[in-house]
Structure 1
């Protein structure tokens, strides 16, 4: 039997229902988070909860639980579902109200739901690297909000899938922004470079862990806009996300990146990232490095 968290209660998944007039269903009026689980423990939980609250506040939604309450309820959900490796998906919407573009007035309570997803680490892809394509970034200008409105991301990811690739690297004109569901990094002259965290990209939790690891291990790093030319000429390219960790990109639009294999700095960061996981969640059985 599987359980979900819905509006303060943990109930059987088969009994969890959301009204057809929920604004998340009709407008995408809400935000979400995905939290990675290793050894039955949540990785970077506090950082995910802070971003969840910040995203909600950015669109005027007040989450009806404190971060401490959310943390305890998510831990209970993990225990109930006996999840060792996988993800927690969590979202909050503005709630249930008659369909109207204007925010509802009165006593409308946000709808909060969370559930678990089993999933192993993508070890083969982490070892060998993945392919990507380039696509114009057609999304809105508040990509820093982890909104339920993901149609632009979906169209980019589908384009990558149809091309037999793992990810779509998006760009606005000549400037690389991020992947359809990831942050993008290049290595140039030994320096790790990634787009600054502003309104054009999502401030990735995994991205921030990587930046901290670079600083702590004397790996030069820059947060700045970089061009398609710099991407094309990069020594190494990799992406980061909650589910993909530090993922090497070995080919973009059919062109090999660097030597066409995961590079030494990417490999070093993968090892450092595994150590960070083990610090927070205990020893990994399915180790990469």
Structure 2
């Protein structure tokens, strides 16, 4: 529940307004059909991290569902920065959502609906996240999602169920599994390290093309770390030397427990920890603001 005195400012279709007053139509297709896409950009030192890649993924998602842009991408960056400024957001994230807009309820795409854009901020500890010092636990769970997971859809009920299953046992993330192989986390990309080699799922319609994943792969290339993109089983994950997850809101997060299997002797692994440090350094140097 949003507190009545929540001081945050939201952006709704051209206007910056108090979050508590932010509203959309009950006929908005994002509400009725989950007919929309979203992005979450990390903010560090008041600047946008990996934002060009986030907006490129947004553009791709919009194209895959034949949805128009609510505003030009360069305007969107300016709006994000203004929203961060109005909320005095130093560290956290900006959530943005684009839907097909409000129209009479009908499954077919409406011809005259105007895309809707909403954004809000969330303050988070990203750089000094205490979980990075201890590592996190994850659990495996069946992947219940649709077949176009490469589109960052606002339809998140399967991920919500998975995340709740993790929360029930005190885990930070659910690692989703399909036909015996790992797809990804409910809100992250999953990685394992074995014999010095980093392994993560190859891109396809089965997984989201993670933005933080992309940056980590670039860092691995710079550091001479070998990365193999392929499918892998739960058993491989549990038998790994190290496991970590990547996402805009967790950056690079070491995993110390997969189901009942303790990883890295119960402490964050050295490669994952180093990659987290390198990613934070890169983010601070390249963030836009």
TM-score normalised to structure 2 length: 0.94
Any idea what SS the aligned residue of 1:277 has?
helix
Report the equivalent of 1:179.
Answer: 185
Unpaired runs of at least 5, structure 2: 1-6
- The one-character-per-residue Cα deviations of 1:167-190 (angstroms, maximum 9, x if unpaired) are 111111221110111100000110
Report the equivalent of 1:114.
Answer: 119
> Among residues 142, 163, 168, which one is paired with 1:136 in the alignment?
142
Task: Quote how far apart the aligned CAs of 1:82 are.
Answer: 1.4
Q: Is the 8 A contact 1:233 1:258 kept in 2?
A: no
Give yes or no for the alignment of 1:81 onto 2:91. no
Q: Matched residues in 2 for 1:2 and 1:239: separation?
A: 29
> Among residues 166, 172, 190, which one is paired with 2:172 in the alignment?
166
Report the equivalent of 1:241.
Answer: 247
Give yes or no for the alignment of 1:92 onto 2:98. yes
Task: Quote how far apart the aligned CAs of 1:69 are.
Answer: 0.8
Q: Is the 8 A contact 2:140 2:177 kept in 1?
A: yes
Q: Which moved more, 1:203-212 or 1:258-267?
A: 258-267
How many equivalent pairs are there? 281
Any idea what SS the aligned residue of 1:133 has?
strand
TM-score normalised to structure 1 length: 0.94
Any idea what SS the aligned residue of 2:66 has?
coil
Q: Matched residues in 2 for 1:159 and 1:66: separation?
A: 39
Q: Is the 8 A contact 1:43 1:281 kept in 2?
A: yes
Q: Is the 8 A contact 2:197 2:226 kept in 1?
A: yes
Report the equivalent of 1:63.
Answer: 69
Superposition pairs of residues 28-67 of structure 1, within 5 angstroms: 28-67=34-73
Task: Quote how far apart the aligned CAs of 1:281 are.
Answer: 4.0
* 1:15–1:186 distance in 2 versus 1, CA, 3 Å: same
Q: Matched residues in 1 for 2:78 and 2:235: separation?
A: 47
Any idea what SS the aligned residue of 2:192 has?
strand
Task: Quote how far apart the aligned CAs of 1:136 are.
Answer: 1.2
Unpaired runs of at least 5, structure 1: 283-289
